[in-house]
Amino acid sequence: MRNWDRYLAGLMALLFAANSAAMLFAPLPWYDAVPGVPQTGPFNPHFVRDIGAVYLMGALGMAWFAWRPAQGWAAMAATAAWLTIHAAIHVYDATCGSTPLADFKRDFLAIYVFAAIPLALALTRKPKGA
């Protein structure tokens, strides 16, 4: 296992934790600040916090892999699965919308890249004993 794998997982954990904290503790400012979110429907603080809790679990899964790869790989793989499904929903929504290319561009980093990194780590960096 290369150290960059663990550092990258740790960085993703920090980013997911920051997003989670904003969603859990400041749902309306998060809703207003994230491009494209208001277009998905009216503000629902319970729903934003629910998704924030899922991002917190993802942050913990990525952090566990960064700390103890063999023990944390399954948690990271579960995080990768959720993020991949989430990204697929965004692809579907973009293709059904009136501005698919703009939607893909808007979601590229925060949705697609942030799903691809854990997925790539899960598929290519499974440690022995995991």
CA-to-CA separations, 127 to 28, 84, 108, in angstroms, rounded: 40, 21, 29
Cβ atoms of residues 64 and 86 within 8 Å:
no
Q: How buried is residue 3: exposed, middle or buried, by Cβ count under 10 Å (0-12/13-18/19+)?
A: exposed
Global pTM reads 0.94
pLDDT digits (tens, 9 = 90+) for 37-60: 999 999 999 999 999 999 999 999
Percent of the chain whose pLDDT exceeds 90: 94
Q: How buried is residue 112: exposed, middle or buried, by Cβ count under 10 Å (0-12/13-18/19+)?
A: middle
pLDDT digits (tens, 9 = 90+) for 69-108: 999 999 999 999 999 999 999 999 999 999 999 999 999 9
Contacts of 54 (CB under 8 A, 6+ apart): 82
